[in-house]
Amino acid sequence: MRAILFGGGLSLLISLLGTRYAIRFFTRQGFGQPIRDDGPTSHHVKRGTPTMGGAVIIIATVVGYFAAKVITGSAPTASALLLLFLLVGIGAVGFLDDFLKVSRQHNLGLRSRAKMIGQTVVGLVFGVLALSPVLEDERGWRPASNHISFIRDHEGFALPMVLAILLIWLIVTGASNAVNLADGLDGLAAGCSILVFAAYTLVNIWQNSQSCALEAGPKCYEVRDPLDLAVVAAAITGACFGFLWWNASPAQIYMGDTGSLALGAAMAGFAIMTRTELLLVIIGGLFVAITVSVIIQVSVFKISRASGLFRSIFKVQPGHRVFRMTPLHHHFEMIGWEQVTIVIRFWIITGLAVATGIGIFYAEWVAGIG
Q: What is the pLDDT along the chain (370 residues), one digit of tens a residue?
A: 889 999 999 999 999 999 999 999 888 887 766 665 555 555 545 666 888 999 999 999 999 999 999 999 999 999 999 999 999 999 999 999 998 888 876 667 788 899 999 999 999 999 999 999 999 988 889 999 999 899 988 776 789 999 999 999 999 999 999 999 999 899 999 999 999 999 999 999 999 999 888 866 778 899 999 999 999 999 999 999 999 999 998 999 999 999 999 999 999 999 999 999 999 999 999 999 999 999 999 999 999 888 887 888 888 888 888 899 989 999 999 999 999 999 999 999 999 999 999 999 999 888 865 4
- Residue 359 belongs to some domain of the structure: no
> What is the rounded distance in angstroms from the CA atom of residue 194 to the CA atom of residue 281?
16
- Residue 161 belongs to some domain of the structure: yes
> What is the rounded distance in angstroms from the CA atom of residue 238 to the CA atom of residue 277?
23
> What is the rounded distance in angstroms from the CA atom of residue 18 to the CA atom of residue 58?
11
Q: CA of 128: how far to CAs of 120, 146, 159, 179, 351, in Å?
A: 12, 11, 14, 24, 33
DSSP bridge pairs for 221 = 211
* Cβ neighbours of residue 70 closer than 8 Å, sequence gap 6 or more: none
> Could you list the residue range(s) of the whole structural domain that residue 146 is in?
1-281
- Residue 295 belongs to some domain of the structure: no
DSSP alpha helices (H): ranges in 226-284? Answer: 226-247, 256-273, 279-283
> What is the rounded distance in angstroms from the CA atom of residue 181 to the CA atom of residue 260?
8
- Residue 287 belongs to some domain of the structure: no
Are 300 and 195 in contact, with CB atoms under 8 Å apart? no
pLDDT at 310: 80
Q: Which residues are annotated as a binding site?
A: 180, 257
> What is the rounded distance in angstroms from the CA atom of residue 61 to the CA atom of residue 47?
28
Structural domain count of the chain: 1
3 state SS of 71? helix
- Residue 61 belongs to some domain of the structure: yes
Q: Is the pTM of this model over 0.85?
A: yes
> What is the rounded distance in angstroms from the CA atom of residue 187 to the CA atom of residue 293?
20
- Residue 65 belongs to some domain of the structure: yes
What amino acid is encoded at 65 in this protein? Answer: Y
- Residue 171 belongs to some domain of the structure: yes
- Residue 11 belongs to some domain of the structure: yes
Q: Which residues are annotated as a binding site for Mg(2+)?
A: 180, 257
- For 218, the enclosing helix (H) or strand (E) is none
